[in-house]
Amino acid sequence: MAVSLHRRTGAVAFFYWLWDGLDRTIFTGIKFSFPARFVSPFGFLGMLTFVVFVILGISGALLMFYYQPVLNRAWDSVNFINNDVPFGFHIRNIHYHASNAMVLLAILHMYYQYFSGRYKIRNEILWATGVILGTVTILEAFTGYDVIFSERAELAISIAASLTTSIPVAGPTIRDAMFGSGFSDFVLRFYAQHVFLLPIVMLGLMAVHFPRFLVFDVPMVMAISGAIMLTGGVFPIDMGFKFEPTVPPGVTVPEWYLTGLYAFLRTQYDKFVTGVLWPGLFIASFLLIPFIDRYKKFSWKDRPLITAFGITGIAQIMVTTYWGFYIPSDSKIPLVERLVIDPVFLYTVMILLVPVGFGFSYMMIKLAKESERKAKLAKEKGPKKVATINLSQKWINWLIVALLAFQVFLNIAAYNAALVGMKNISLFFIGIILIVFAGFFHLYRYALNQAKNTPPPPPVPIHEDKPKELVESTVPNSKLSDQSSGTVTKEPKEIAQQITTPKIQADLGIGTNKISDFGSSDLKTP
């Protein structure tokens, strides 16, 4: 048996030890793929959602050091974090915008899986857990912005408490468990739900929802992280007004992912129907889609009814979201009239969106199939050239140098902005730094891919040996001009060994049939 004298030391030994230790864990059952080229982010939106979840966990843990879950101290502690704690402004804005990004990515991920028919390939469990996980994600974001206990949070709390109470039989019990007996219990209970209960539920659902193959694209992860920080720098979240029980709250609206529900509630129809039954039916329909869809194909073009249902749902969500945000600005109109939405008008529009959505869906399907038919005809006539961007090695090097220089400039600018006190500008620069790093990483990956795909060099022509007379005749003119200028260098001439080829009669032009007396006697003649 051969014995290796090589010994791992330092960081290499530590990583090998860590990898050997992970061999008996659940992480080895998951296959991580690091793409060597750019791939569409729609295929791994779930992974991006998990990355944002990790950002939320880290930033939320840092905020827990200073937040106080007490009724009369909650808003003040958040205000202290935002204004007085070093880098507290940055962490709070990252946490807030990451929560919105997580909800948005979860919705996009669900609809991408819906239209691509991924739930049809024995992924019913993954689809069902994903729908439930999306609902829990919205609840997690909802409890997060409520623990500030501002006027906006008080509106959301009042609506949630009234909706919970409207549930038959079990409503009051659920309200007491979630909200407590009053405002004094609410903050602590929502805080416990936000930082412990709901994250535990989400991690359990993720353990079932995650597939065995995960795509971890480093440039896209950096780009998403940079976009969150950039948004925090451009649109810094304000504190709002502190809720005072003795002061009537102003006119406000909830977060964007709850404004659709808020529009239904503003119709002043039954709270259970508008706030619990409609959203429940919407979630249940998505849960039952894998069992309702009987189409044999996966493409959205080959599933017209399912596609039309999804597009109609998106249209209704967009309309109700806009309606929830819209409040007439005329202060002369009474507050009740400004907030109330005519139920006949709202539900008429919602009903009319059904045939409009179905008609739009069938039109899109028809146009898509017509374009496919034209593409097939064009392919039969001849190969169609696809426009590609191919950068030379020179341009790749110049772009890498330019991105590195831009990175250095952005780091200096972000540091100076932090020293001066321009918090949002420094957060904006940090976001740009991450986005530039994503571009730099992708360019480096592209360069490696181009180096692998370089064509082989052309074959070197094989030159035959030429006689010395021909080689000397091809001497460059410059050498001859040097000799003619008078500076002639005498070099010893080497006599090359000449191999004489035997000459035959055809080379001498002598025919044996022409000279009959040619013999050995002629060689003796002088």
Residues 6+ apart with CB under 8 A from 156: 142, 145, 146, 254, 255, 258
Residues 6+ apart with CB under 8 A from 89: 82, 83, 236, 423, 424, 427
The pLDDT value given to residue 507: 45
**Measured between alpha carbons, how far is 324 from 192 in angstroms, rounded to an integer?**
29
Query: Which amino acid, residue 165?
Result: T
For 38-257, CATH number out of 1.20.810.10, 3.40.50.150, 3.90.850.10, 3.40.50.300 equals: 1.20.810.10
Backbone dihedral region of 341: left (phi > 0), alpha (psi from -120 to 50 degrees) or beta?
Answer: beta
The pLDDT value given to residue 462: 64
Task: Give me the residue label for tokens 């706030």.
Answer: 275
Instruction: Give the domain ranges of the chain.
Output: 38-257, 295-384, 386-453
Is residue 109 a contact partner of residue 36, using CB atoms and an 8 Å limit?
A: no
The pLDDT value given to residue 479: 45
Both tokens of 380, joined, read 């039969």
Given CA atoms 259, 261, 264, 266 in this order, what sign does their dihedral have?
Answer: negative
Sequence-ordered strand ranges (E) for 149-228: 213-215
Query: Which amino acid, residue 137?
Result: T
Report yes or no on whether pTM surpasses 0.95: no
The pLDDT value given to residue 482: 47
Q: What is the mean pLDDT of each run of 10 residues along the chain (526 residues)?
A: 55 78 71 78 89 94 92 90 92 95 94 90 88 94 89 86 88 86 80 93 90 85 94 90 78 87 89 90 92 88 92 92 86 81 90 93 90 80 62 81 89 88 91 91 83 67 56 49 47 49 46 45 44
Residue whose C-alpha is closest to residue 30's, from 212, 216, 217 = 212
- Using DSSP's 3-state secondary structure scheme, residue 32 falls into strand
- Using DSSP's 3-state secondary structure scheme, residue 167 falls into coil
For residue 301, count CB atoms less than 10 angstroms from its CB and return exposed for 0-12, middle for 13-18, buried for 19 or more: middle
Distance (Å) of CA 351 to CA 279, 344, 354, 357, 430 = 16, 11, 6, 10, 46
Is residue 56 a contact partner of residue 49, using CB atoms and an 8 Å limit?
A: no
For residue 522, count CB atoms less than 10 angstroms from its CB and return exposed for 0-12, middle for 13-18, buried for 19 or more: exposed
The pLDDT value given to residue 383: 59
Both tokens of 511, joined, read 């025919």
The pLDDT value given to residue 508: 43
**Measured between alpha carbons, how far is 436 from 442 in angstroms, rounded to an integer?**
10
Strands 31-33 and 213-215: parallel
